[in-house]
Every structure is written in C-alpha cells, then in structure tokens.
Amino acid sequence: MPLPGPDPGNPHPKPGHPRVGFLKNFITRPNIVVGDHTYYDDPDGPERFQDRNVLYHYEDIGDRLVIGRFCAIASGATFLMNGANHALSGVSTYPFLIFAEWEAPMPEFSIRGDTVVGNDVWIGWQAAVMPGVTIGDGAIVASRAVVTKDVRPYAIVAGNPAVEVRRRFDDATVAELLRIAWWDWPVEKIQRNLAAITGPNPDIAALRGA
C-alpha cells in the first residue's frame, strides 16, 4: 500500500530542507487559519510567517486571513490586512487618532472583510495580496503580482494591479473540478489518485469515478 503522504503536523515535511514548512504548525494567531498541507518556502525559514508576511493585522479590527489546503506559497509573498487602511473621507489621511496627544474624532475606515485563499492555490515569489480579496481554488498568482480584487477559480493573474492572463481550464472543466474538490478527500484517496490529479491534462472521468 502506498504511504498516505506526509504528516501535516510535521513542521518541516521535506527532510534536509528547513526552509519548507507546513504553515499551520507556525500559526498562533486566532485570526489566521491555514489548512493542512499548505506550505511556505523561504530561505530564512517559515517560522515567522505570521509576523513577516501578514502585515497590519490587528485583532481589534476583526478581519481574518483564511488559507485553504494544499496551497504553495513562495518566499516573500505578503498579505496586507485591513489595518493598513487609512480614512479617506477627510481632507487628510494622516492617522491623528493613533497618537494619544492628538484629540481627534474616530474616522470612518473602509474595512473590506476577510482575506480568503482557496485550496490548491499557488502564490508566487514576492506577490502581494491586498485586504479583503478572495482567491479562488486552483488559481495561480504570478511573482510580484499585486492582487487588488477577487481572482476566479483556476485563473492565472499577473501584474500590478494583477489582471487575469488566462484560465487554466475551460468553464465546464473548472465547474467539475470544483464539484469534485479533491483537496477535501481523505489523504489515502488522494494518494490513490495522484496520477489523475497531477497528470498533464485533467482526467475528469478518473476523478469523478474515484
């Protein structure tokens, strides 16, 4: 019987490569949720991801970063959260209120909600994801892309601001892949069907009958 894959509870699942880590093992903040087998690859190590890569994330704002299962996140990818926003309604955007010496009324901030990354998403080197964005399952974010709006499932986006370059598969195939949702399968079932999951063309029939 084939092995059911690496233990998602192992912080460093690739022997001899301490730069690669399953992220959920390094997350201590309640406002960050990461699924099994999602990894971060950084030559400085993955241990401080939540401090170095998730920026302006303050608990009193209430927004969350939610990352799904089987995602691959490259070195330097950053998630800017709603705490980075400044009020735009007044003449000045300067945050007088954060300094106790200034007596200023509470400004109206624009809060865009949670930042959500789906399953099986690849986020490239030094890409930046802005607050409140949703990146769909199976999407690819190119290196140094700046994602300012939602990304469709199985889309490839690139640039600043990121725009869709193309879709990885046609609409019918995407719909079927989302219905199958292989990332939710038990690991034993994933192992048995890796050829269909990783093959050069989506074997929908094999996945459907798995």
Element (H, E) at 16: none
Q: Greatest CA span in the chain, whole angstroms? A: 68
Residue 9 Rama label (left phi>0; alpha psi -120 to 50; beta): alpha
55, β-bridge pairs = 80
- For residues 114-125, one letter each, b for 16 or more C-beta atoms within 10 angstroms of the residue's C-beta and e for the rest, the string is bbbbbbbbbbbe
Pairing, β 140-141 against β 32-34: unpaired
Respond yes or no: is residue 86 known to be catalytic. yes
Q: Which of 17, 37, 57, 86 is catalytic?
A: 86
Residues annotated as part of the active site: 86
